[in-house]
RNA sequence: GCGGCCGUAGCUCAACUGGAUAGAGUAUUAGUCUACGGAACUAAGGGUUGGAGGUUCGAGCCCUCCCGGCCGCGCCA
């Protein structure tokens, strides 16, 4: 595999630092994209970082490094890609690319097509990304919707960046909640059959969907279950409700464009034997003790606030216990890195689960938990009130029906995961420039529209472009647009490191903006002379690159890239 | 009380994980089309980054202490 220009520069800088013995361990050498044009295309800041270790002024190091960099890059045959290397106080090394380097980048977009932006950053590391994992006790909420949008997009990005990602939905189909669900369904069933003496369980589920389910059971089986003892018939109601609800969840997620590699059932995989085994493993390592009739895990040995009960005095497990077994199993299934996406109400749970991972001999960082803050829906400037307890909330399904999959997914990605976001329902539905998702889609459709016009003028924009003379693209705006296109893989790399896909939305909005501006200033379809056609061909090549990057970015987000709107 | 996240332009949010003069959108104001999609574009004003210290070549970002908002703190799940 040939190195990109960027990789060559970083490698050369590293080599120079080693040859001069400026540092024992330079660490990561970053090539930044300066905000100001006068500071070049790329900027190196290592000189300043080395100053202390070398006991030399950073500017000195920068000058020496820049000088040797020119020699080395020339030797590597990169001379025609670099227009200049500048040193600026207090020690920045600024690299200016030649137009030729930019044209090469544009050609590589065309060559790589749908794969443009891919990298090998992840080196094939096996990642298990677990997200949503909502208990099958009711429809998916807005919180789950955001988690689904972020999780799915993050998985796409990690895959694009060279990780081997597996998406998993963990089904909590056992335990108290499922029991309560069964109890609630049974009560609804009896109510509909005319029983007046039934009492609704204290922690029951009050949503109307249980009435619908009860109707279905009556239609199918009549009153066959009305006379059974609770404990005898409860497994039926619990399993029936959980299966029905899970089926609905799968459909909702599919309509939202979210799929999983595994739907991982607690009931089937986290067996009694596995749980006993994991407790035995912890006991063997000395992290288990008995107190007040319960069995405890000494999680404080690994930074938790307090120790945690894993077997209650009534002999039942706590929620944590099967979860420890589940996470051990994730490692045993061959994953190097576990990423969990949770809601903000679970952040207190992170430490104890990480403690269990440590106690089992895995590194603390092998499990990463991303907390996705809540989204609040706004309608006409007012928050939409929701109460889970009363069963009054807007579901994922309703949201998708109202604003559409594309807008919903995009809006959930627009903010950083760790800040709460305001979801403006009216804005999401607008088909104007104020709505960022339409703005971006419009840019894509516009390129397609122009290509249609070019085709009518007698030239196929999709073919015969190999001989396009890109050196015609000399306007600042055109060169800037190419620079912007080339940032795409940096943006993705950033997302994969921060585990937050937010950056891609900002980037695509900016790219679309630069394209619209370019379009307004320069005509793509110029005239009919041979010289006009040379210009047209070059500009078609440029905006084909824009279309490709928009398309790749939207595909990663799960948003449609329409040819016309 | 303890812990987590957040606090940036009137509003909604960015800022490449410590880089150079803190940027977009929106709102406001003033402009731009006989031609490829006006669902667009150009420009202006708008800031003591909640406050105070500290770390260093450099801080919106890291550390400490305050202020404000949201969330969590069970032998619940």
CATH code of the domain covering residue A551: 1.10.730.10
Structure tokens belonging to residue A516: 């619209």
A498 found inside a domain: yes
Measure the CA–CA gap between A49 and A112, rounded to whole angstroms.
36
Strand, coil or helix: A478 = helix
A68 found inside a domain: yes
For chain A, report the end-to-end CA distance as a whole number of angstroms: 40
Is residue A564 within 8 Å of residue A449, measured between CB atoms?
A: yes
pLDDT score for A388: 55
A305 touches strand B (CB under 7 A): yes
A331 found inside a domain: no
Residues 342-381 of A with CB under 7 A from strand B: 344-349, 371, 373-374
pLDDT score for A392: 61
- The nucleotide whose C1' lies nearest the CA of A527 is B35
Indicate the DSSP class of residue A2.
P
Chain B positions with any atom < 7 A from a protein CB: 2-7, 12-17, 19-27, 35-37, 39-42, 56-58, 70-77
**DSSP-assigned beta bridge partners for residue A167:** A129
A303 found inside a domain: no
Q: Give me the sign of the Cα torsion angle A105, A107, A113, A119.
A: negative
A535 touches strand B (CB under 7 A): no
Closest residue, CA to C1' of B77: A319
Output Rg (C-alpha) for chain A, integer angstroms.
Answer: 29
The gap from C-alpha A233 to its chain's centroid, in whole angstroms, comes to: 42
Burial (CB count <10 Å: 0-12, 13-18, 19+), residue A65: buried
**DSSP-assigned beta bridge partners for residue A387:** A392
Residues 413-432 of A with CB under 7 A from strand B: 414-416, 418-422, 431-432
A28 found inside a domain: yes
Nearest to A236 by CA among A246, A226, A249: A226
Nearest to A546 by CA among A534, A532, A517: A517
Question: Over the stretch A304-339, which tens digit does the pLDDT of each residue have?
Answer: 989 999 999 999 999 999 999 999 999 999 999 999
Residues 242-261 of A with CB under 7 A from strand B: none
ipTM: 0.94
A229 touches strand B (CB under 7 A): no
- How long a stretch of residues is chain A? 565
A517 touches strand B (CB under 7 A): yes
Measure the CA–CA gap between A48 and A56, rounded to whole angstroms.
10
pLDDT score for A379: 87
A318 found inside a domain: no
Residues of chain A with pLDDT under 50: 1
A29 found inside a domain: yes
- The nucleotide whose C1' lies nearest the CA of A350 is B4
Indicate the DSSP class of residue A85.
E
Q: Which residues contact A550 (CB under 8 A, 6 or more apart)?
A: A440, A443, A444, A447, A508, A511, A512, A561
Strand, coil or helix: A550 = helix
Measure the CA–CA gap between A487 and A164, rounded to whole angstroms.
23
Element (H, E) at A58: helix A58-75
Is residue A548 within 8 Å of residue A444, measured between CB atoms?
A: no
Measure the CA–CA gap between A263 and A243, rounded to whole angstroms.
13
Nearest to A147 by CA among A355, A358, A408: A408
Give the count of domains, chain A: 2
Q: Is the pTM of this model over 0.80?
A: yes
The CATH number of the domain holding residue A73 is: 3.30.1360.70
Query: What dihedral angle (degrees, nearest 10) is formed by the CA atoms of A191, A192, A195, A200?
Result: -10
A252 found inside a domain: no
Residues 494-513 of A with CB under 7 A from strand B: 494, 497-498, 500, 502-503, 506, 509-510, 513
Query: What dihedral angle (degrees, nearest 10) is formed by the CA atoms of A251, A255, A258, A261?
Result: 40
Q: In terms of residue numbers, what domain contains A520? A: 436-557
- The nucleotide whose C1' lies nearest the CA of A419 is B6
pLDDT score for A390: 56
Is residue A228 within 8 Å of residue A200, measured between CB atoms?
A: no
Nearest to A356 by CA among A288, A402, A263, A290: A288
How far in angstroms lies nucleotide B9's C1' from the CA of residue A503? Answer: 21
Domain boundary among A77, A97, A117: A97
Domain boundary among A72, A97, A122: A97
- The nucleotide whose C1' lies nearest the CA of A457 is B36
Domain boundary among A97, A131, A151: A97
Residues 444-483 of A with CB under 7 A from strand B: 445-446, 448-450, 452-454
Per DSSP, the residues of A321-389 read HHHHHHHHHHHHTT-SEEEEEE-GGGGGGHHHHHHHHHHTT--GGGEEEEEPPPEEEEETTEEPP-BTT
Do strands A288-291 and A294-297 pair parallel, antiparallel, or not at all (unpaired)? Answer: antiparallel
- The nucleotide whose C1' lies nearest the CA of A450 is B36
Nearest to A479 by CA among A40, A61, A87: A40
Structure tokens belonging to residue A273: 């034997």
Is residue A399 within 8 Å of residue A405, measured between CB atoms?
A: no
């Amino acid at each position: 595999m040939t190195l990109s220009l960027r990789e060559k520069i970083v490698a050369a800088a590293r080599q120079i630092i080693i040859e001069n013995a400026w540092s024992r361990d330079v660490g990561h050498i970053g090539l930044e994209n300066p905000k100001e044009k006068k500071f070049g295309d790329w900027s190196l800041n290592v000189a300043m970082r080395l100053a202390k270790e070398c006991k030399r002024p950073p500017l000195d190091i920068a000058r020496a490094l820049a000088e040797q960099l020119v020699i080395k890059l020339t030797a590597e045959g990169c001379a025609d890609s670099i227009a200049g290397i500048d040193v600026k106080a207090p020690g920045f090394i600024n690299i200016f690319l030649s137009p030729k380097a930019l044209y090469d980048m544009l050609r590589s977009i065309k060559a790589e097509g749908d794969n443009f932006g891919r990298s090998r950053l992840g080196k094939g590391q096996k990642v298990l990304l677990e997200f949503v994992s909502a208990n099958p006790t009711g429809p998916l909420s807005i919180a789950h919707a955001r988690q689904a949008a972020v999780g799915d997009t993050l998985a796409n990005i990690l895959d694009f960046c060279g990780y081997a990602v597996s998406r998993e939905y963990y089904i909590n189909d056992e335990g108290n909640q499922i029991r309560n669900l069964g109890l609630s369904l049974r009560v609804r069933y009896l109510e509909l059959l005319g029983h007046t003496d039934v009492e609704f369980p204290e922690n029951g589920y009050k949503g109307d969907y249980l009435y619908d389910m009860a109707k279905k059971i009556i239609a199918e089986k009549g009153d066959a279950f009305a006379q059974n003892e609770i404990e005898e018939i409860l497994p039926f109601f619990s399993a029936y409700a959980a299966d029905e609800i899970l089926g609905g969840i799968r459909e909702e997620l599919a309509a939202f464009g979210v799929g999983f590699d595994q739907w991982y059932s607690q009931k089937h995989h986290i067996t009694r034997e596995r749980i006993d085994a994991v407790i035995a493993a912890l006991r063997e390592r000395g992290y288990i003790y008995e107190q007040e009739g319960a069995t405890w895990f000494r999680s404080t040995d690994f930074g938790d606030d307090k120790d945690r009960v894993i077997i209650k005095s009534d002999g039942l497990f706590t929620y944590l216990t099967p979860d420890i077994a589940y996470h051990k199993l994730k490692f045993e299934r061959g994953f190097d890195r576990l990423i969990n996406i949770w809601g903000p109400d679970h952040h207190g749970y992170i430490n104890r689960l990480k403690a269990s991972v440590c106690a089992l001999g895995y590194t603390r960082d092998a499990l990463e938990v991303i907390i996705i803050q809540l989204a609040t829906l706004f309608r006409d400037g007012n928050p939409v009130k929701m109460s889970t307890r009363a069963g009054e909330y807007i579901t994922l399904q309703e949201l998708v029906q109202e604003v559409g999959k594309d807008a919903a997914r995009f809006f959930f990605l627009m903010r950083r995961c760790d800040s709460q976001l305001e979801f403006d329902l009216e804005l999401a539905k607008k088909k104007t420039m104020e709505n960022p998702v339409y703005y971006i889609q419009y840019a894509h459709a516009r390129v397609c529209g122009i290509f249609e016009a070019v085709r009518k003028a007698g030239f196929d924009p999709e073919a015969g472009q190999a001989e396009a003379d890109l050196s015609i693209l000399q306007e600042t705006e055109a060169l800037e647009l190419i620079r912007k296109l080339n940032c795409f893989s940096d943006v993705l790399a950033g997302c994969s490191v921060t585990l937050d896909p937010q950056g891609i939305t900002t980037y695509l909005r900016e790219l679309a903006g630069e394209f619209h501006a370019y379009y307004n200033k320069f005509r793509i379809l110029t005239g009919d002379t041979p010289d006009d056609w040379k210009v047209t061909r070059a500009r078609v090549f440029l905006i084909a690159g824009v279309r490709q990057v928009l398309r790749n970015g939207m595909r990663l987000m799960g948003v449609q890239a329409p040819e016309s709107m």
